[in-house]
Amino acid sequence: MEKKVNFELGVYSFGNTPRNKDGSYASTAQAVRDALEAVKLAEEVGLDYFGFGEHHTNSMPISSPASMVVAAAALTNKIKLGTTVSVLSTEEPIRLYQQLSTAASIAPGRIDIVAGRGSSEITFSIFDLDQNNYDLLFNSKFELLLQLNKDENISWSGKHRKKGLVNTLIVPRPEQPLKIWLGTGGSPNSVYRAAELGVPMFLGILGGSPEKWANYGTAYRDAWTKAGHSPNQADIGVAVHGFVAENDQEAKKIYLENEAQMFMTGSAEIGRPMSKPVGREADLEKGMVFAGSPENVAERIVNLHKLLGHSRQILQMDVGGMPQKTFLKSIELLGTKVLPIVRKELNH
């Protein structure tokens, strides 16, 4: 009998502020509305998941992904939703859990959390936290987040809190626990930490080869088994950059132009000025940037799945001030063209 592969395909966004004709940013409020418009289309075309990442810049202004998940939960009926990622090092885990539990009350069974350290230090100054406590804050808060997901009345103490919690009621409670992923950019410590804690791992990938990232999957599963967890419960998700157009040439041209804009301006906003990236064409051909025709992107997703065995792959496509109609067309192709090919190949 044919074995059905439960593979999920979707989109994620940090927000994509439109640009004026002179290159300046338009309204960050419009970027928020655009992201919610994209969620509705993603559901309409049959995609499985839409995630909201966290940045605090003019170009990528979704600074409260949990708020976006709550809004999207009220606007949709089927699609799964989550934070990808919530920067837990500078977030309050109780408030984060309460917000996502609220979303799960609106949309039962459709909400999860990807919690990570974050890709920049900008949030530490915003929330008046000491960057030197980077690892301590994340590890302590992640452990609390997991405990919140288990117990309605919490008794807990940890290094990031001055006072512990004693039989403290945390509500609302969803009908079923939230799925909480540990998000990582590939730090070996994070890979092993996810396995040790028995939680699913979400890889945030900007480059490299499929073979390289398959090694991370092997390391995670090996550590998972050594920690005594059931081997068939190890779970991996993947977040990548990508873009879908009618043909390879169009897709790569649109993507590279907008990605260059993202790297040169967006990176400067977080204190990392960069010139136009080089060598990205190779990442588009055989690497981890999934830009191309529907057939091309589908084939590469299937090939990565064969190497990594991941259960979910999401693409960030709205980069660099890309026009909203261009982003929406890519979502449409991802759902109507790419997803059917992927499902057919994985269940062949």
Which CATH number covers residue 256? 3.20.20.30
Beta strands in 88-192 (DSSP E): 111-116, 153-156, 165-169, 179-184
Domain presence at residue 286 = yes
d(CA 16, CA 321): 6
Beta strands in 191-345 (DSSP E): 201-204, 236-244, 289-292, 312-316
d(CA 62, CA 31): 8
How many CB atoms sit inside 10 A of residue 251's CB? 25
Domain presence at residue 226 = yes
The CA distances from residue 110 to 67, 139, 187, in Å, are 15, 26, 28
CB-side exposure of 126: number of CA atoms within 13 Å? 13
Q: How many domains does the chain have?
A: 1
Q: Tens-digit pLDDT profile for the chain (348 aa)?
A: 455 779 999 999 999 999 888 888 899 999 999 999 999 999 999 999 999 999 999 999 999 999 999 999 999 999 999 999 999 999 999 999 999 999 999 999 999 999 998 766 778 788 778 777 878 899 999 999 999 999 999 999 999 999 999 999 999 999 999 999 999 998 999 999 999 999 999 999 988 999 999 999 999 999 999 999 998 999 999 999 999 999 999 999 999 999 988 887 876 786 666 656 666 777 888 899 999 999 999 999 999 999 999 999 999 999 999 999 999 999 999 999 999 999 999 986
Q: Coil, strand, or helix at residue 234?
A: coil
Domain of 284 in residue numbering reads as 8-346
- Burial status of residue 94 (CB atoms within 10 A of its CB: 0-12, 13-18, 19 or more): middle
d(CA 270, CA 34): 23
Contact by Cβ (8 Å): 136, 82:
no
d(CA 301, CA 312): 10
Find where tokens 């909480």 sit: 180
pLDDT at 1: 43
d(CA 152, CA 187): 32
pLDDT at 77: 98
pLDDT at 23: 82
Domain presence at residue 2 = no
Domain presence at residue 68 = yes
d(CA 79, CA 40): 9
pLDDT at 141: 96
Q: Locate all alpha helices (DSSP H) within 262-338, ordered by sequence.
A: 267-269, 280-285, 294-308, 324-333
- What are the structure tokens assigned to 38, written together? 């994209």
d(CA 7, CA 333): 18
- What are the structure tokens assigned to 218, written together? 């092997």
Domain presence at residue 3 = no
Beta strands in 53-170 (DSSP E): 80-87, 111-116, 153-156, 165-169
Q: Which of 338, 332, 316 is nearest to 85 (CA)?
A: 316
Domain presence at residue 253 = yes
d(CA 249, CA 33): 30
pLDDT at 125: 82
Contact by Cβ (8 Å): 319, 289:
no
CB-side exposure of 325: number of CA atoms within 13 Å? 0
pLDDT at 132: 76
d(CA 183, CA 78): 24
